[in-house]
Amino acid sequence: MNPFTYCNPVKVVFGAGRLAEAGAEAAKLGRRAFVVSYSDNSVKGTLARLGELFDAAGVAHEEFLEVVPNPPIEMVAVGVEKARAFGADLVVGVGGGSAMDAAKAIAAGVLYEHGDLWNMVYACHSNVTTQPPEKALPLMQIPTLPATGSEMNMCSVVSSLARKQKSYIWADCLFAKTAILDPELTYSLPPFQTACGGVDAISHVLEIFVNGQEKSDLLHEFQLGVIKTIIKDLPVVLANPTDADARAEIMWAATCGINGWASPGDAWTPIHQIGHVLTSHHGINHGSSLAIMMPPWMEYFKAKRPAPYERFEREIMPIPEFKAFIKRCGLPTTLSEKGVTEADIPGIVQGVKDVSFNADGVMSCIPPVTEADVYEVLRRAL
């Protein structure tokens, strides 16, 4: 097992109906809560309930409902100004990864002292000039879409509209103080979003499983356990969205997949790195980008490093069946479906190189990923 340093200070309040404790939990962290979420109907009921709970607990609150997918740093900057104007001493993210990541970036941005907020972002791995934030306002996270695990990790994925890039902020201060995981909040999720979240969570552990260290029995069991749980329960909730047990299993699996437990000592996410470029260049949503890229990645790298792929096929299912599973969940499995052609591939490869290749000219993982590898995997994904 690789050496690692591990610390996860997030207090998790988990269980159906536990949103009811949000006011009391918020009151332990601050008196003026800046609530970061979306303006659409998906979270309206939750936000209204949250407002009542905050009122009852004596926590003043202001909503910032300008979050959009792949939160742009430009939107974060607006949030920072509004949070300052409100005198926020607590930031609350309500929604999926976009809302929680925006909440993190705003919480750090309010106290950021190193100029342009984009300086917080690891936007060029081969020439790191990043100044990660050292402090942030206290954070509370309330996920309504199990997927990114943002509620229990120190990462915020953000985009830059001006730069057409998507990358991440990574800093200790981005850990939430408290995360409220109430599976009831996910019962009304549309099937497409449910499937995108499930596939995203699978990808978080699958990428470590196939690209990470070889000798790590317990960690591999954790990773396969997350994958097995989601593959078992995703069809259940797609058929019956209010299945309480399956919704709870998926929610906790998504959190555990990327809160550090399943992968200490490994940090490789090469498929995500390609996916981020598909999002920033071609507008393909996060879950779909991974749904498209995972099977061809697996087919291609199985020839280079057979062991983890053969184990996946033995313990989970053959790769073609996995692709069929993704399709059955209602997600795209080819780039062509999203209008990407072979002529687009060089630009995508360049985008991956710009953000994710290291100073040696490869993407770090086992084995290291070359420009030719990225090209070939994308070609197979057409």
- Binding stretches for Fe ion (CB under 5 A): 200
Residue (53 or 269) nearer to Fe ion, CB: 269
Residue number closest to Fe ion, CB atom: 200
Instruction: Report the nearest approach of Fe ion to the CB of residue 331 (Å).
Output: 14
Residue (72 or 96) nearer to Fe ion, CB: 96
* Alpha-carbon separation of residue 232 from 315, 320, 361 (angstroms): 13, 17, 39
Residue (138 or 149) nearer to Fe ion, CB: 149
Instruction: Report the nearest approach of Fe ion to the CB of residue 275 (Å).
Output: 7
Residue (61 or 204) nearer to Fe ion, CB: 204
Nearest to 82 by CA among 102, 57, 68: 102
Sheet holding 178-181, edge to edge: 11-14, 178-181, 139-143, 90-95, 32-36, 60-64
Residue (96 or 138) nearer to Fe ion, CB: 96
| Residue 156 to residue 36: CA distance in whole angstroms | 14
Q: Do you know the residue count of the chain? A: 382
Instruction: Report the nearest approach of Fe ion to the CB of residue 283 (Å).
Output: 16
| Residue 374 to residue 353: CA distance in whole angstroms | 9
Instruction: Report the nearest approach of Fe ion to the CB of residue 194 (Å).
Output: 15
Instruction: Report the nearest approach of Fe ion to the CB of residue 54 (Å).
Output: 30
Cβ atoms within 10 A of the Cβ of 200, count?
29
Encode burial over 115-145: b for 16+ CB neighbours within 10 A, e otherwise: eebbbbbbbebeeeebebbeebbbbbbbbbb
Instruction: Report the nearest approach of Fe ion to the CB of residue 97 (Å).
Output: 7
Burial zone of 148 (CB within 10 Å; 0-12 exposed, 13-18 middle, 19+ buried): buried
Residue (35 or 196) nearer to Fe ion, CB: 196
Contact 174, 155 (CB under 8 A): yes
Residue (90 or 289) nearer to Fe ion, CB: 289
Instruction: Report the nearest approach of Fe ion to the CB of residue 60 (Å).
Output: 33
Residue (200 or 233) nearer to Fe ion, CB: 200
Spell out the long-range contacts of 283-287 with Cβ–Cβ below 8 A and sequence spacing 24 or more.
Answer: 284/332, 284/338, 284/340, 285/69, 285/196, 286/69, 286/70, 286/97, 286/147, 286/196, 286/200, 287/147, 287/193, 287/195, 287/196, 287/197, 287/198, 287/199, 287/200, 287/331
Residue (46 or 70) nearer to Fe ion, CB: 70
| Residue corresponding to tokens 């209010």 | 242
- Residue 344: DSSP 8-state: G
Instruction: Report the nearest approach of Fe ion to the CB of residue 161 (Å).
Output: 20
Phi, psi of 92 (to 5 degrees): -120, 120
- Residue 149: DSSP 8-state: -
Instruction: Report the nearest approach of Fe ion to the CB of residue 288 (Å).
Output: 12
